[in-house]
Amino acid sequence: MLLKRILLLCVIVSLNACVSLPQKAFNKGAHDIKTIEVLPMANTEAQVSYPHPGLNFGLIGATVALAELNAKGNTLQKQLDAAQFDQYESFRVSFDKAMTERGYTLIWSDPVAAGKKDKTKRGAWNLRKSAQATDRADAQLDVNLVFYGYAASGAGKNSPYRPTISLAAQLFDASGKKKLFSDVVMYHNMGGIGSKAITIEPDPAFSYPKFDDVEAAGASVADGLDAAIRASAEAMARQL
């Protein structure tokens, strides 16, 4: 769990230094793909991230920082539970609409996301290490929320918490052997100028100077995340 948290911090705070970005453009004209099976998404819980000052003070400081971020993530998750916000359903509705407009028919798994005890082997971007063959569709899409929650670029009140999403996807052919596409969308990208991820600026309407303000916002924090997921889903669909 600690390793997972550290990896998430790496992804959100200093993307380029930690993991390489999966990026392969889709050659739409070379493939006759009409129907796509969407594989069960990875189970992702709400997270809170910011460059905690404790990260300056070695392992002990990092442990304190991770414990605090974990607690804030749990608080955010409770707020979202209270709002009955379903991040997978938000994504499914937006992505399905965007892909239908592009001429695709999507076949979704039921439920859309895997459970917490899912044993699927995944890499750094929550992407599957392999896919099985399918006869239900022309291709199969592995799409996952990597980071989903609120993040701030700094520790002060001039660096507000904003809805933050990392969405990674890869498209396999029906045999599961050939990867046709992969890319990452980052909504509220704090990774800096070198990042090659598709980047979307956060909606300024959803901005909280301190975490206390996030808490005080109650269930309405779901609105910012819903907007972020919708924009990210549409951006990913445009690549296909």
Q: Which stretch binds other proteins (CB under 8 A): 96-104, 115-123, 182-190, 225-233?
A: 182-190
- Own/partner contacts of 151-159, CB < 8 Å, gap of 24 or more, are 151/12, 151/47, 151/48, 151/49, 151/50, 151/188, 151/190, 152/49, 152/50, 153/50, 153/51, 153/190, 154/50, 154/51, 155/50, 155/51, 155/52, 155/53, 157/209, 157/210, 158/209, 159/50
Exactly one of 202, 211, 230, 233 binds other proteins (CB under 8 A); that residue is: 202
Total H helices, total E strands in the chain: 6, 7
The verdict on 239 binding other proteins (CB under 8 A) reads yes
How many whole angstroms separate alpha carbon 162 and alpha carbon 150? Answer: 5
Q: Which stretch binds other proteins (CB under 8 A): 91-99, 139-147, 192-200, 218-226?
A: 192-200
Token reading at 142: 């592995």
Exactly one of 198, 225, 231, 237 binds other proteins (CB under 8 A); that residue is: 198
Q: C-beta of 31: minimal distance to other proteins in Å?
A: 8
The verdict on 40 binding other proteins (CB under 8 A) reads no
**Residue 131 CB coordination number (10 Å):** 22
The verdict on 194 binding other proteins (CB under 8 A) reads yes
The verdict on 59 binding other proteins (CB under 8 A) reads no
The verdict on 224 binding other proteins (CB under 8 A) reads no
The verdict on 216 binding other proteins (CB under 8 A) reads no
Residue ranges that bind other proteins, judged by CB under 8 A: 13, 25, 27-30, 50-51, 53, 55-56, 152-156, 158-160, 162, 178, 188-202, 238-239
